[in-house]
Structures are given as structure tokens and as C-alpha cells.
Amino acid sequence: MKMRRLISLILKETVGFLFLRLGGVYFLKYKLRDQPYLIVLNYHNFSEYNNYRLKRGKTLKSGYGSNFNKQIRFLNKHFQFSYPNEFFGDKTTSGIHILITFDDGYKDNYDIAFPILKQHNAKVIFFIVTNIIGTNDWLTHDKLRFLVEKKYKSENEVETCLKKMNQGHSIATWIKQNENLIAIPEQRLMMNWKEVEEIDKEGFKIAPHTHQHSILSFLDYTKQEGEIQTSIKTLESKLKKICNYFAYPNGLYNADSLNVLNKSAIQYGFTTQPGFNSKENAPLQLKRIGVNASDSIGVLLLKLYLNRKK
């Protein structure tokens, strides 16, 4: 596994470096000059477990702030930051528009991302899981990954399990079989409401990501409605603002999800399907490109190019 990772890293970095140095950003802008495109970038956190190059670090250790600053500075230099309502408005100029999104509500979003995003006047939506904000609880995927750190489970087993969940398969049986192993330290991983409110007051958008990070496609209509509307009402109560945006946990949703969002007056829904958005895209099914704070500028640019027309 280490050798495969090393080869993959060398290949990605080499191709990304060459693409960047040979003017890849200008080539991308030229290719997409004909009409407006909205690129939505999907970050999660700065954890050294998730953001790594060769070897996974610890879930509770965050880093890559300096590299993230380089990414945002690069995006600000070459593209235009826009919110969906601006992009889908009548005055949108042609070219590439960028929206930054963070999922879940991790504390390092406040500690690391928030000051950098303020500095560069970025357009950002933080999608938060309302039930976990201000608690010491962890999301299921972080609990499972902590099993790897404790050496209770192999990285391959846990990541394969989570990949199956991302593909729409329930992992409830696996979790039940291993529930005696699942334990987390008494240390806050997520933001609290004071931090969320500070981000909101700075002008960035805060939006729901369900109440408990439930996978919507696993639920019937009534339970989906409860998950979605509870998260919306909680946010509106805390921030005294109407919610216009929503992100589907793990990108999984179905017709019931869309119906509930329509009923709840949500204007824009965000998936994890990669690709660029044009004005013809369905507003409740916007595409996002997954990126990491640890990605070099070359790798980031390469991800944009490879996902340009999906």
C-alpha cells in the first residue's frame, strides 16, 4: 500500500507541476470562456488523518493552514468568488466562478480556515450537522477512523467500509458488530455555537447538513423530513436567518429528499457528484469537486481540469 501511495503521489505531483508550469490555468480559462461556470470546491477539515500525502496522521491533529492559504490566494488571483444566487443571477459574467464549501462543522474550520477566508474575501458556505455542534460527540466516520488510530481495525477495512457507505450501501451491520470497540476521547472535534455565530456575523453562509448526518437515501420520506427540517429550524432559531442552502450527507439523496427541500424552500442543494455547474444545472443538484487542504496548487488545478465537463 505504501509503495502504491508513493507512486500515485509522485505521478500526481509531477503531472500537476507540469500542468501548472505550462500555463494550465490559462488553458482552463480559455477552454471555458464561452459561458459562466460555477466550480464548487468541497473541503471537510484539516485533520492529518484525512489530509495526508503518504501516511495518515491523527484525527485530532490539524495542519496545512499555510498550504490552504496558498490555494485560496491562487483561486482569488485567477477566478471570481461567487455565491449561487450571484452566479444564477442575470448579471453573471462569463468565465469561471468559485464557491468554497466546508462540510460537517469541524472546529478547525473556525481555527484555520475562517481567518484565511476572511483575508481573501472568499465566498464560502459552511454546512453543519446541527445536533453535534457544541458537543464532544464525533460523527460516525470519525469514530470509525479513530479505530485505525487505536489499532483496533486496519485502515483498509475501515476505509473500505466507509467507501461502501458513500456508494449507497448501509454499514449498520458492521457498526453493530464492532460497537464494543467504538469509543472516542473527551475532546471537542466540532465547532460550538459561539464559533458558528462568529462566522455568520462575518458574512459567510451557514447552512444545514441534516441534524444527525443521517444518510438520506437510507430513510423513508417522514424520517428525511424530520432530519432536514429539524436542521433548518435549529439553524434559523440560532442565527435568526432563513436557510437557502443544503448539502446532502455523503452526497446521497433521492426523489424524497428533493421533495422535502422544495417543501422547505431550499433554493440550492449540493451533492458530491464531481463536475462544473452551468446555468442549466438543476439548482438542487449542484456538483462539487472534492479537494484537500494538503493538495498542492498543481494537483488542485489538475482536479479542476479533469472534472471540467462531467
For 37-71, the pLDDT digits (tens) are 999 999 999 999 999 888 889 999 999 999 999 99
pLDDT at 186 over 90: no
Yes or no: domain 2-135+192-306 corresponds to CATH 3.20.20.370: yes
Provide CATH 3.20.20.370 ranges for the chain: 2-135+192-306
pLDDT at 245 over 90: yes
Query: What is the model's pLDDT at position 308?
Result: 85
CA-to-CA distance for 75 and 57, rounded, in angstroms? 27
Length of the chain: 310
Global pTM? 0.95
Query: What is the model's pLDDT at position 48?
Result: 94
310 pLDDT band, cuts 50/70/90, is low
% residues pLDDT > 90 (the chain): 88
E runs forming strands in the chain: 36-43, 80-81, 95-104, 124-128, 205-208, 245-247, 268-270, 289-290
- For 5-25, the pLDDT digits (tens) are 888 889 999 999 999 999 999
